[in-house]
Structure 1
C-alpha cells in the first residue's frame, strides 16, 4: 500500500498509527480532486486542527481522525447528508477502532460542514469544533478565494452575474441544488464564517482573513465596473 502521508505530510507527527492510516485513506479517496477538497486541503485542515486542539486541550487522536476523514464521501458530492459520517464509522470499525471512537468521529463529521446559512446545526464536541474551525478557516482568506472559484468551476457556476442575487438557504437541499455564482458564494457562505468560529484562536485568525476577502471583493467590483 502506498504511503501517501509521506508525500503530503512528511514532517508532521501524528498521534497514532490509526491516524496515519486515516490520512492515507483520505488521500487516496480525494486524490485528483479539482474542487478545492483535495489532499492539500486535508493537510491544511489537519495541521490547523492540531494547532487548535493544543490550544483547547482537546483529545488529539480524535481531532486528527475527524480532520483526516472529514471530506471523504462528503455530502456536497454524494447528495447524502450523512454519507461522510457513515463512511467514517464504517472505515474506523473496519480498522478495529472501538465503537465509541468510531461513533465520536462519525457524529462530529456529520455536523462539521456548512450546509446553508439557515440550516440547523448538529452539536459538536470540542474535538469537532476544532476541526470545524480549521475547515472554515480554509474557506476564508486568500486560499478561501482560490477555493471558491475552483469549486465554482467544477459546478459550472459563472464568476459573477449582477442580475443574480445571493440566496439564503434554509435547508441542505436548497444549498446543494442552488446554482448561483461564485461571487454570490462569498455572501451565501464565506463572509458568514468569521462570526461562526468556535474557538478564540480561530476567531482571531478569521478576522484577518475576513478583512482580506472584503478588500478582494472591493477590488473585484471596481474592476468589474471599470473603475479601477
Structure 2
C-alpha cells in the first residue's frame, strides 16, 4: 500500500510534517482542545491509512491533507455555529495549501473531503477520498480513545456523567447534552451503520463493542447492581 501511493505521489512522504506544521500553527491561534488537537489529526490519518490499504485507487495525498486539516477551524460542539465549522475549515485549508505549494489541482478534492467529514454539516461525501476521511474521523469517536474524548468534551460542556437513577435511559428519553453516557446510545452507536466504506464499518463495529461493554459496566457500578 505505501509503495503504491509513493509511486503515484513521490512527494507523499514529505507532506505529513509540512501539514502538521500548518495545522499546529492554526491550532495555536485557537483555544486548546484536547479532543481536536494535532494528536487527533494524526490518529485520523492512521485510521485513513488502514482504510486506504483496502482502497488503493484513492488519492492518498488528498486524504492525507484532509485528515490533517479537517478541523483547522474548531467550533465547540455546543456552539450554534458548529454546522459551519467544516465549511470554514475547508476554506482556510484551501488558502493555506495554496500558499504552501500543494498541488493546485488537488485542492478542491481536499476541500470537499474536509467539508463532508462533519456529522453536523450534513454534506454528502461524493468522492472515495471524502468517504475515507469521513470514516477515519468518525472512527476516532469510537473505541477507547473515543470514550476518553466523549467524557473530555462532555466535561468542557458542563454535562453530568450520567443520569442519577436511570443511567441507561430505560424510562426516559436520551439526552446526551445533559448526560455524557447517553452519547454512546444517542450518537456513537449509530456510527457503524453510517460508515461510507465496508472497511470502515468493520472497524467501527469492533470499536463500538468497547463502548457498549463500558456502558454496561458503568451502569452496573453506578447503580450498584451486578454486571453481567
User: What TM-score, normalized by structure 2, do the two folds share?
Assistant: 0.79
Question: 1:1-228 alignment to 2 at 5 Å?
Answer: 15-30=12-27, 33-57=32-56, 58-76=58-76, 79=81, 81=84, 82-115=87-120, 120-161=122-163, 162=166, 165-166=173-174, 179-228=177-226
Distance 1:127 1:74 in 2: 22
Q: Output the CA distance in 2 between the equivalents of 1:15 and 1:155.
A: 38
Q: Which blocks of at least 5 consecutive residues in structure 2 are unaligned?
A: 1-9
Match of 2:6 in 1: none
Cα-Cα RMSD: 2.5
**Cα gap change, 1:103/1:75 in structure 2, threshold over 3 Å: closer, same or farther?**
farther
Residue 180 (structure 1) shift: 2.9
Distance 2:34 2:185 in 1: 19
Any gaps of 5 or more consecutive residues in structure 1?
Answer: 1-12, 168-177
Runs of 4+ in 1 over 4 A off after TM superposition: none
1:16 shift after superposition: 5.0
1:98 CA displacement: 4.5
Counterparts of 2:69 and 2:183 in 1: how far apart (Å)? 25
- 8 Å contact from structure 2 (residues 117, 125) kept in 1: no
Q: CA deviation at 1:24?
A: 1.3
TM-score by length of 1: 0.79
Alpha-carbon distance between aligned partners in 1 of 2:224 and 2:33, rounded to the nearest angstrom: 31
- Equivalent-residue separation in structure 2 for 1:28 and 1:185 (angstroms): 31
| Worse overlay, 25-34 or 204-213 | 25-34
Q: Which has the higher contact order (CA 8 A, sep 6+)?
A: 1
Task: State which drifts further: 62-71 or 185-194.
Answer: 185-194
Q: Distance in 2 between matches of 1:88 and 1:188?
A: 31
Structure 1 position 18, deviation (Å)? 4.3
Superposition deviation, residue 99 in structure 1 = 4.2
Structure with bigger gyration radius: 2
Compared with structure 1, are the counterparts of its residues 35 and 20 closer, same or farther at alpha carbon in structure 2 (3 Å cutoff)?
A: closer
- Structure 1 residues 46, 154: closer, same or farther in 2, change over 3 A? same
Equivalenced residue count is 203
